[in-house]
Structure 1
């Protein structure tokens, strides 16, 4: 067996923008709730004061670097890890003290956990039999789950006769066969190549539409997966939840430099807040061209003269001419062709190196060439300087 079958299908039950994300939308019944959950192994805290609500039918991605607490949060919902403080709820009921088989959860892990000696249909039926589904119902439930995941034509095959993507679909079918309230996905696509991963992302998005009441908690380190699939993204760092919101909000208006750099690529330019709330100053007299004043959308909370970071996404930078908004001059240090775009690294005269993703270039700039870039004022987002309270 390629892993532990107990983590692949757990039995059905008997018969936002603040750091703690706030409650799920009031109009939707509860799906998953964490209330001040803390998990520790010996003296090391691996999840610290975690509070998050996931509504029924909502997909929330847990995103963060290795060791940030993502999988610990998932295992706490599943019942495989017990918190030292706080409560976990599913469907509005406190399940903190319940064993895994009474929580109404389906779980898919990256190792698939399929029995190699059982056919596909037998693997899918395993979870149903484990929690004593009436024998007469098993064939229909297996067929339903295989049809839902596009694997109906492979019921008689063995796992060794399937591709990695097909094995992952079988693992998903096994989790769905028990008709869970909650579906937990622990980096389920990390073992797949890029093409298979894109296909499975599309399948998961389709399943989300077809299962409107199932809450999905999705652990990933892949930003594209999170941005593509999730209704909201919860960003973790050092065992804490540091930001939570819709993918668009986190991308366009991140709360801090960590979220900005972890949810998509970001240029973070050290600036000084200007005398007006829609002005910032980049660079100083020590730079090649001295200080440069830039215009942004007016933002409160940054007193004149205070340090800050200006976030501009690489795709928001474009070649500029004299007289355009927010002119940034520099010298090209590197050019990479990415197929549809060129990724151009530019050492700014008035600041650090920035990356620009430029499309439609017939002749890209060469290393060493001078280049001017610009961005629209509404694309510049001011963030607290690193280390600022």
Structure 2
């Protein structure tokens, strides 16, 4: 055994992540099936200890990117690195990664502890250390009391915890999560989000690549979010950057469901359907077209700065808020309003307003407002 694999084996035996293999670099990776490109020239880096979410709709290429890192698909171009290793040509079992998939993939004939030990035995970990590492992984995921049960005796959320424990037991430098919560109901998903966040705090050296189509998961867990659409990377930044100052209309609509309204730049601000709204316009020239991006929860009811009058065309009660859909000169504006004891009725004329600093202008030459 060479020095590098020997050192990795020692770290695994000691229950420590292999930091030499931590971090992910995807350099110009393209994946195609029968000339159909499903991932197009992806460049992305996940730093050691970072959680990167791949966020996008179905068919955007996010799962293909994860599978390329895992070794389940072969790129037609580009390279994949784990830490300082080029793993493009390595099979999955030689990459030293942990992976959790949507459907858990537990062995039904094995007990929980046997499932968690499977990866350790496959990697020929010292037999004396396996029980200790299994117990540690189960304790970390809150499943220590279920070691002797079979998967059929567990709930969906418990099975997912076991799948995560199995991935963590080998102490990988890289952990891949492929929509791990999508099969759970809303209550279990919320609990597992909290558990994944706690695990990240306890494993600060492990790099995590998390594929999801759920923006709440991405905003909650990720240090950075890579937004994908139509096989390409469209945007990448921190959750706060992408939510508060999106750079593209796709990002604005997919991360946070923003209002996107066509406006014309003027000397005083922008014009929306004949109404002047005062706000910074960056370097955009008067007369240029742009898109006004404003989040529904940042819109108020009643008079205020940048007031807009329109007709209520739809009302949706969402528990803590009422979502009003208001027609403004042929454009629909969504406003999420809290604690309305007497909400307006459909057909009523209302006045909405927003602060200039809460809006973002998107478009060529506009800048970030």
Shift of 1:303: 1.8
Classify the secondary structure of the residue corresponding to 2:23: strand
Shift of 1:249: 0.4
Shift of 1:384: 1.8
Counterpart residue number, 1:281: 271
Q: Is residue 345 from structure 1 mapped to residue 328 from structure 2 by the alignment?
A: no
* CA 144–13 in structure 1, closer or farther in 2 if over 3 Å, else same: farther
* CA 73–128 in structure 1, closer or farther in 2 if over 3 Å, else same: same
Shift of 1:91: 1.2
Deviation by residue 1:223-261 (Cα, 9 ceiling, x = unmatched): 100001000000011111010000010011111111100
Distance 1:358 1:247 in 2: 23
* CA 113–30 in structure 1, closer or farther in 2 if over 3 Å, else same: closer
Distance 2:346 2:28 in 1: 51
Q: 2:228 aligns with which of 228, 236, 256?
A: 236
Counterpart residue number, 2:203: 211
Counterpart residue number, 1:111: 103
Counterpart residue number, 2:286: 304
Classify the secondary structure of the residue corresponding to 1:165: helix
Counterpart residue number, 2:257: 265
Deviation by residue 1:347-382 (Cα, 9 ceiling, x = unmatched): 11x340111100021111111111110000001100
Counterpart residue number, 1:4: none
Structure 2: segments with no counterpart, 5+ residues: 8-19, 365-369
Shift of 1:301: 4.1
Q: Is residue 336 from structure 1 mapped to residue 316 from structure 2 by the alignment?
A: yes
Shift of 1:337: 1.1
Taking only aligned residues, the RMSD between alpha carbons, in angstroms, comes to 1.5
**Deviates most, 52-61 or 90-99:** 90-99
Counterpart residue number, 1:295: 278
Classify the secondary structure of the residue corresponding to 1:104: coil
Counterpart residue number, 2:179: 187
Counterpart residue number, 2:216: 224
**Deviates most, 93-102 or 261-270:** 93-102
Tell whether the 8 Å contact from 2:21 to 2:82 is kept in structure 1 after alignment. Answer: no
Classify the secondary structure of the residue corresponding to 1:200: helix
Distance 1:29 1:79 in 2: 15
Distance 1:332 1:203 in 2: 41
* CA 46–153 in structure 1, closer or farther in 2 if over 3 Å, else same: same
Structure in which a larger fraction of residues adopt helix: 2
Tell whether the 8 Å contact from 1:30 to 1:53 is kept in structure 2 after alignment. Answer: no
Q: How many aligned residue pairs are there? A: 349
Shift of 1:29: 9.7
Shift of 1:161: 0.8
Tell whether the 8 Å contact from 1:40 to 1:46 is kept in structure 2 after alignment. Answer: yes
Counterpart residue number, 1:80: 72
Distance 1:269 1:345 in 2: 13
Tell whether the 8 Å contact from 1:331 to 1:370 is kept in structure 2 after alignment. Answer: yes
Distance 1:29 1:49 in 2: 23
Q: Is residue 165 from structure 1 mapped to residue 157 from structure 2 by the alignment?
A: yes
Distance 1:356 1:339 in 2: 14
Q: Is residue 384 from structure 1 mapped to residue 368 from structure 2 by the alignment?
A: no
Q: 2:333 aligns with which of 345, 354, 378?
A: 354
Distance 1:83 1:43 in 2: 12
Normalized against structure 2, the TM-score is what? 0.92
Shift of 1:300: 2.4
Distance 2:263 2:347 in 1: 25
Distance 2:353 2:330 in 1: 14
Classify the secondary structure of the residue corresponding to 2:209: strand
Distance 1:137 1:40 in 2: 42
Counterpart residue number, 1:9: none
Shift of 1:338: 0.9
Distance 1:211 1:30 in 2: 12
* CA 251–13 in structure 1, closer or farther in 2 if over 3 Å, else same: farther
* CA 14–88 in structure 1, closer or farther in 2 if over 3 Å, else same: farther
